């Protein structure tokens, strides 16, 4: 059997070129999910501040377990479902479905602070994306649902508008969520940067697994069993001393 490798005029094989183009197409995600992107994610702990105050999260091990539960069956899992639904709706130009996902996301938050967390970040994301990353698809989505949308819906809209694959969007979004939670934990707990980095690395395989599951999900799959986290978000509203908004 003879194997023929087709090479472009630039000297790059077609398979290598496809991989490069795929990587390049996802570059906006690095900007959107960076701590430098003006959504204010550093101000939210998703209830981890109360979990620390109550003694549920006290070290690297308990932090890793808490965050793992969140992305597996807590708020971030539902966010991944919502992102996937928004992404598919924009990609297919099904704006009624996008509106349904957006309204569902707005009503789904289990507490006042959790709703503030997702809606404030979503609105900030849409404003920044509209200023610097808008295109016709993005404008059509905004016409359908406006800019006051939940954070995962906003990311799904922008990624689909720029034709970024759903799987890589989900993986990047969930890893950014994990990183933000770890950052909050580092500021709250006697937890060093090295331990924080180890937690992110340890949870990366789980992020891939959850992203693969969310890619095939529908709105019916939203929901979870991380009840302690939902309670934490409610208890945090009346916590005496607070560094975070949630």
Condensed to tens digits (0 to 9), the pLDDT of residues 114-158 reads 999 999 999 999 999 999 999 999 999 999 999 999 999 999 999
- Distance of alpha carbon 85 from alpha carbon 80, whole angstroms: 9
Task: Tell me the pLDDT tens digit for each residue of 191-220.
Answer: 899 999 999 999 999 999 999 999 999 999
Do residues 153 and 160 make contact, with C-beta atoms less than 8 angstroms apart?
Answer: no
Other C-beta atoms within 10 Å of 9: how many? 5
Q: Is the dihedral of CA 28, 106, 73, 216 positive or negative?
A: negative
Highest mean pLDDT, choosing among 108-112, 209-213, 240-244? 209-213
- Token pair in block for residue 20: 């490069």
Give per-residue pLDDT as tens, 21-79. Answer: 444 488 999 999 999 999 999 999 999 999 999 999 999 999 999 999 999 999 999 99
Q: Is the pLDDT of residue 190 over 90?
A: no
Contact 46, 117 (CB under 8 A): yes
Q: In the chain, what are the domains? A: 26-238 (1.10.4190.10)
């Amino acid at each position: 059997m003879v194997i023929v490798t087709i090479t472009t005029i630039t000297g790059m094989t077609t398979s290598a070129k496809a991989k490069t183009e795929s990587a390049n197409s996802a570059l906006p995600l690095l900007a959107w999910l960076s701590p430098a992107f003006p959504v204010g994610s550093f101000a939210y702990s998703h209830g981890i501040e109360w979990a620390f105050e109550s003694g549920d999260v006290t070290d690297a091990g308990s932090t890793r377990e808490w965050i793992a539960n969140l992305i597996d069956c807590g708020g971030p899992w539902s966010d991944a479902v919502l992102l996937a639904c928004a992404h598919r709706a924009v990609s297919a130009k099904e704006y009624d479905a996008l509106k349904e996902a957006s309204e569902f996301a707005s009503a789904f938050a289990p507490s006042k602070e959790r709703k503030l967390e997702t809606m404030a970040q979503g609105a900030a994301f849409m404003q920044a994306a509209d200023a610097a990353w808008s295109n016709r698809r993005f404008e059509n989505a905004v016409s359908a649902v406006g800019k006051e949308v939940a954070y995962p819906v906003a990311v799904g809209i922008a990624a689909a508008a720029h034709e970024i694959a759903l799987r890589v969007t989900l993986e990047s979004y969930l890893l950014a969520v994990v990183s933000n939670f770890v950052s909050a934990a580092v500021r709250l707990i006697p937890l060093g940067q090295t331990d924080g980095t180890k937690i992110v690395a340890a949870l990366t395989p789980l992020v891939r697994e959850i992203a693969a599951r969310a890619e095939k999900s529908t709105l019916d799959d939203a929901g979870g069993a991380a009840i302690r986290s939902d309670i934490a978000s409610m208890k945090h509203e009346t916590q005496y001393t607070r560094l975070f908004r949630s």
